[in-house]
Structure 1
Amino acid sequence: MKIRPTPKLAKLAGGWLLLGIAASLWPPGTVFWVLAGAALAGAAGWDGLCLRRLPEISVERSLPGVLSLGVDSEVTLRVSADPSQVLPLRLHDHPPASFEVEDLPQEVTLPEDGWAEICYRVRPLERGEQSFEAADALLSSPWGLLNLRRRVGEVTSVRVLPNFQAVARYALLAMENRLGQLGIRLIQRLGEGLEFQELRDYREGDSRRQIDWAATARRQKVISRQYQEEKDQRVVFLVDCGRRMHTRDGEIRHFDHVLNAVLLLTYVALRQGDSVGLMSFGGEERWLPPQRGVAAMNTVLRKVYDLETSTLAPDYLEAAKKLLSLQRRRCLVVLITNLRDEDAPEIVPALRMLKRRNLVLLASLQEAILRETAERPLDSFEDALLVGSAHHYLAARQRAWEEVNAQGCLTLDTIPQELPLRVVNRYLDLKRSGRL
């Protein structure tokens, strides 16, 4: 609890000091100056006494237990006084420093017998465990000479998860059989696949190799084999948490787009009957063996929601060795990183090592600022230097990509915003082609 003077009291005190200067020039005014000072001090003392007699304020904070990165959410503060009375106050909450906040502080008047509510909006810009500190209630004295600041309410913890709205939207569109709206391509190949599902009557458009001649002879009608994509395969993410992944385009960091891609592909793969695992490197190392089933989505989410980047450089070769020691069965390894030209000598042997036993997809994030710099107009000598440097870097990066592509691995070079859908489309292509 802190009592502070208001601007009104400061102005009155300033006026009293000016009266003191005037009284020093005209001695008969000294008595009036002393009386004015006593009156001002008495008024301030009375206001302070009234402030201390104000009722206790309580605040209850209401918000979702889980927030999504970069998504607006509403927070409600319910304010009441004990004992109840008409009471104007100014309320300011304390969300985490990494949140964008709208509509704070707010002024509210408590009714004589009841409570009041205020609402404001927050947008989390960082994942992980976050805390709302206790709020501040600013109360004014009856004559407006003093303010009383009280700390009210309690600390509230909340989890900020990766923005999986794309996953929820995918689920909705999947149920409505409108996956094309997401940009995810499903190639219809009726009856063809890798794993036998059932026998059924022949349909127009079935190929000759689908016909089961033995069943046709037994039933005296043409019978076709129905296939489906093979299930219970394994997808393992190898996620770079090194310093380059901290790059930010707009509000969202590259690494957060990576986690969105991980969640979306996890959802799709689990729906396909496959299992999903994850290993992080280049910072905090986490390992999740391949999981399958409905509960696996939450397992992956809990594993990555507070995963952060580090200031370290990624060690691709060491990561490949560790993954091979942990995951001995064949799988699709999705290596997500930010490939630079200087990485080729290390990442190439790592890819060779992974490729001996697994199918490897290397997904690398492009930095939008480099393309923008390379295409900017030349208005000055400094612009020419910047553009030339950008072209030199991109050319070196392209040479590194050519060396990587020569290893026969699958590759994706994409901007972060397109990574989730491109990774999912590549996975579905692999499922349909039978390479997985």
Structure 2
Amino acid sequence: MKQFFKSLYFTKRFFIAIFLLAILFVVSYFFGNLFWVIKLLFFILILLVVADCLLLYLNKTGIQASRLLPEKLSNGDENPIEIKLVNRFQFTVALKIIDELPIQWQIRDFKIETVVKPSEEKKFTYTVRPTERGEYHFGNLNVFSSSILGLVSRRQQFSAEAMVPNYPSFLQLKKYDFIAFSNRLKFFGLKKIRRIGNTMEFEQIKEYVAGDDIRNINWKATAKKSELMVNQFQDEKSQPIYSVIDKGRVMKMPFNNLSLLDYAINATLVISNIALKKQDKAGMFTFSRKIEDRVVAQRRSSQMNLILESLYNVKTDFSESDFSRLYVDIKRHVKQRSLLLLYTNFETMDALHRQLPYFQAINKTHLLVVIFFENTELKEFTDRKASNTREIFEKTIAEKFRYEKKLIVNELHKYGIQTILTAPEALTVNTINKYLEIKARGLL
């Protein structure tokens, strides 16, 4: 009996009927002849409520429902969640579905309303967009059934509690795969150049021409042919590509509900996948006060899983990042010349100048690409028309900050350091295109 009362809910239609009867009873005080008619209507309402309860509760099964969740969620992407329903009543029912969503989304008005015919099976798909990595706990699935009378509804609660981890955006891997293997380089006005390399992987012996390295002269072949012959070697195809993520406080700034750190993590996952498919070695590490989450650049089948698991729990630590420690660690542990994609952020020239000596030192032995972010909210603010003196002043200050970002790019270029200044939402595609440009131009 307790279970019955816990699952029984009166609908809006029932309360409207009660409200109208209450008004009629008040009216009957002035018109006595109406009292018995209104009393009869009240008993009819009671009978209809009892009949409605019998319709909904005589069938013990009622509605069958289940929720299908993915094994893991993709951060910053639309993830589909599917709900499956089967009507076991012998009549058409109106349903209201309330799913208990994780607290991270703070959604308290989620519901799906539908009508299901007898023995009909229906599927509903809705999407969710997580913006914080970590564990997302789903609660129970609640289904409220109402018959054609619609005076009461029966709640059936299906135990569907589940925890789904939210990983960096793995859905972007397939989305951006095509860029690495399509002709995107034409947008840079570049063509693929086959470079003659200097590794020890022998390719062929050929006649010497001006410009060939004299250290590669093959003296035995020269003696046989009576002309200079040189060894030609294949270019090194497997090069280390490291994603270096600054997780200091500058990366906590949010755009479109995702922090700059999350954008950098999503881009790291995608560029690592593309680097591996382009036969390069992919690796990554994070830094702030010290170097953490290190994955050594390798080209193996398990590399993407290692990178994904390392990125899963990366969080900002709200401290000032130590670039001197970064330089020392790179010098100590990254022995082979590598492409270093450094995700960080600078707002002023002063902030850049404090770190510039370390960038120059790193760039001497590696190819450094400094990636930092354009403030899209400042752009929107400066694009608006100013209507008074205060807004003109604020717009001038905003334009100054935007201009300083361009000065930072020019300053880095002056010292031969590659840069990407990008809007957060365009980070992934701009990073991919810079990587493809570097590969095509043979800069690494």
143-152 vs 390-399, which moves further: 390-399
Counterparts in 2 of 1:123 and 1:50: CA distance versus 1, 3 Å: closer
Structure 2 segments unaligned to the other structure (5+ residues)? 1-5
Partner residue, 2:199: 195
Partner residue, 2:431: 423
Q: Secondary structure at the match of 1:25?
A: coil
Partner residue, 1:8: 13
The CA deviation string for residues 73-111 of structure 1, in whole angstroms up to 9 with x for no partner, is 544322236x664452414253556499xx961414253
What is the TM-score with the length of structure 2 in the denominator?
Answer: 0.76
After TM superposition, give the deviation of residue 33 of structure 1 in Å: 4.2
Partner residue, 1:236: 242
Indicate conservation of the 8 Å contact 1:229/1:431, yes or no.
no
Q: Does 1:154 align with 2:164?
A: no
Q: Does 1:287 align with 2:291?
A: no
Q: 1:379, 1:398 → 2: CA distance?
A: 27
Partner residue, 2:374: 366
User: May I ask how many residue pairs the two structures share in their alignment?
Assistant: 427
Partner residue, 1:209: 212
Q: 1:147 is matched by which residue type in structure 2? A: S
Q: 1:329, 1:347 → 2: CA distance?
A: 22
After TM superposition, give the deviation of residue 135 of structure 1 in Å: 2.2
Partner residue, 1:385: 393
Q: 1:370 is matched by which residue type in structure 2? A: L
Q: Secondary structure at the match of 1:262?
A: helix
Q: 2:54, 2:328 → 1: CA distance?
A: 69
Q: 2:242 is matched by which residue type in structure 1? A: V
Indicate conservation of the 8 Å contact 1:194/1:227, yes or no.
yes
Q: 2:291, 2:96 → 1: CA distance?
A: 40
After TM superposition, give the deviation of residue 364 of structure 1 in Å: 0.9
Within a 5 Å distance, the mapping from 1:115-130 to structure 2 comes to 116-126=121-131, 128=133, 129-130=135-136
RMSD: 4.3
Q: Secondary structure at the match of 1:168?
A: helix
Within a 5 Å distance, the mapping from 1:10-409 to structure 2 comes to 10-27=15-32, 29-56=34-61, 57-69=63-75, 71-72=77-78, 74-80=80-86, 85-94=90-99, 95-96=101-102, 98=105, 105-112=112-119, 116-126=121-131, 128=133, 129-141=135-147, 143-164=149-170, 167-168=173-174, 171-172=177-178, 178-180=182-184, 187-190=191-194, 192-200=196-204, 209=212, 214=219, 217=222, 225-230=231-236, 233-247=239-253, 249-250=255-256, 254-270=260-276, 271-281=278-288, 286-305=293-312, 307-309=314-316, 312-317=318-323, 320=326, 323-324=329-330, 327=333, 329=335, 331-341=338-348, 343-344=351-352, 346-348=354-356, 350-351=358-359, 354=362, 358-397=366-405, 409=417
Q: Secondary structure at the match of 1:304?
A: helix
Partner residue, 2:3: none
Q: Secondary structure at the match of 1:340?
A: coil
After TM superposition, give the deviation of residue 345 of structure 1 in Å: 5.8
Q: Secondary structure at the match of 1:194?
A: strand
What is the TM-score with the length of structure 1 in the denominator?
Answer: 0.77
Indicate conservation of the 8 Å contact 1:269/1:276, yes or no.
no
Q: Secondary structure at the match of 1:394?
A: helix
Q: 2:47, 2:290 → 1: CA distance?
A: 63
Q: 2:332, 2:29 → 1: CA distance?
A: 88
Counterparts in 2 of 1:298 and 1:40: CA distance versus 1, 3 Å: same
Q: 1:105 is matched by which residue type in structure 2? A: I
Q: 1:329 is matched by which residue type in structure 2? A: K
Q: Secondary structure at the match of 2:65?
A: strand
Counterparts in 2 of 1:219 and 1:119: CA distance versus 1, 3 Å: farther
The CA deviation string for residues 156-200 of structure 1, in whole angstroms up to 9 with x for no partner, is 44444444555435544656xx34269688753335123243334
Indicate conservation of the 8 Å contact 2:185/2:437, yes or no.
no
After TM superposition, give the deviation of residue 432 of structure 1 in Å: 6.5
Q: Secondary structure at the match of 1:209?
A: coil
Indicate conservation of the 8 Å contact 2:242/2:339, yes or no.
yes
After TM superposition, give the deviation of residue 425 of structure 1 in Å: 4.6
219-228 vs 258-267, which moves further: 219-228
After TM superposition, give the deviation of residue 273 of structure 1 in Å: 3.2
118-127 vs 324-333, which moves further: 324-333
Indicate conservation of the 8 Å contact 1:85/1:111, yes or no.
yes
After TM superposition, give the deviation of residue 139 of structure 1 in Å: 0.9
Indicate conservation of the 8 Å contact 1:277/1:291, yes or no.
no
Q: 1:283, 1:141 → 2: CA distance?
A: 64
Q: Secondary structure at the match of 1:390?
A: helix
After TM superposition, give the deviation of residue 15 of structure 1 in Å: 2.0
Structure 1 segments unaligned to the other structure (5+ residues)? none
Identity score, percent? 18
